């Protein structure tokens, strides 16, 4: 079990550091394939460097980390997230009034939220996100769970005949299918100029673990960029239908329960996940009850 030195100073606070506390965090796997509950840790406390390194390695290994009873401030959430890198500012979602790095997620009693689609955050960026840190502020008594999916396993367990078809294949990712409908025509035009469509490998490599990852998602992946290079074409629809069939087959891999884990939210639960190797799906089975979340997202690297 890893040993940690925690400096008793609330992240984002101005008070002087208190006495150092010796502690250790526990790791309790959620499924054999993805996720772990992390205990005996306070994310509102400034972690020493060794603890931080151990926590990052645990994230890469388990891909999703669940922390319970984390009654921390928005400033502390931002400070914790910044330990992992520069934070994103979302161009569409509402933001916390004091911390624009925090996205405010959730509808209200008149309008349900719309995150119930399999996706990886910010895959539409040239440098997709490294990780997201989501804290539950308010959640319904029943329902509102979130699923996470191990996309390393989704790739590893593909038939070899499919894997061979994916070699060198690139996919186009676009924020407009998910967010364009929320904008005016003028806003769509401006957003398109700022965030053009991007290409990523269909099978990307994790920059820390070296794992191969199936990297397409139904929220942002629109088509393959170079599908025609990989086969002979008799007539046009041969190419188009084969491309659509393959893409739909790959998108369905995220729906396989054996690759998934599920979190039941409680107030002050924080979940951190590796966006490079996972997808997630926020179940909308609780409307008109309300679920409110704050999310920080860390910018990642170019895919390869």
Residues labelled catalytic? 119, 121, 280, 295
Q: Are 239 and 177 in contact (CB under 8 A)?
A: no
Q: How far is CA 187 from the centre of its chain?
A: 25
Q: Are 249 and 163 in contact (CB under 8 A)?
A: no
Burial label for 260, CB within 10 Å (0-12, 13-18, 19+), is buried
Burial label for 102, CB within 10 Å (0-12, 13-18, 19+), is buried
Q: Are 280 and 146 in contact (CB under 8 A)?
A: yes
Side-by-side strand order, sheet with 64-67: 26-29, 36-39, 64-67, 270-274, 129-138, 292-299, 103-105
């Amino acid at each position: 079990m890893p040993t940690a030195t925690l400096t008793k100073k609330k992240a984002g606070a101005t008070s002087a550091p208190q006495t150092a506390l010796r502690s250790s965090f526990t790791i309790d796997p959620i499924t054999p394939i993805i996720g772990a509950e992390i205990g005996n840790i306070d994310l509102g406390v400034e972690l020493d460097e060794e603890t931080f390194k151990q926590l990052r390695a645990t994230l890469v290994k388990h891909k999703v980390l669940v922390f319970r009873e984390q009654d921390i401030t928005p400033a502390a959430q931002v400070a914790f997230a910044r330990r992992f890198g520069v934070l994103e500012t979302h161009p569409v979602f509402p933001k916390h009034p004091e911390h624009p790095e925090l996205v405010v997620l959730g509808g209200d009693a008149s309008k349900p939220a719309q995150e119930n689609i399999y996706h990886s955050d910010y895959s539409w960026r040239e440098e997709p996100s490294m990780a997201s840190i989501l804290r539950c502020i308010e959640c319904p008594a029943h329902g509102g769970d979130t699923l996470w999916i191990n996309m390393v396993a989704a790739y590893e367990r593909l038939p070899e005949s499919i894997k061979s078809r994916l070699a060198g294949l690139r996919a186009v990712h676009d924020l407009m299918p998910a967010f364009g409908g929320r904008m005016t025509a003028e806003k769509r035009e401006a957003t398109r100029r700022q965030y053009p469509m991007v290409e990523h490998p269909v099978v990307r490599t994790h920059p820390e673990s070296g794992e191969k990852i199936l990297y397409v998602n139904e929220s942002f992946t629109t088509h393959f960029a170079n599908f025609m290079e990989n086969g002979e074409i008799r007539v046009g629809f041969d190419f188009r239908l084969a491309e659509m069939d393959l893409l739909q087959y790959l998108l369905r891999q995220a729906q396989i329960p054996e690759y998934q884990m599920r979190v039941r939210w409680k107030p002050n639960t924080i979940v951190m996940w590796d966006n490079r190797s996972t997808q997630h799906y926020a179940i909308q089975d609780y409307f008109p009850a309300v679920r409110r979340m704050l999310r920080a997202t860390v910018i990642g690297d170019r895919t390869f």
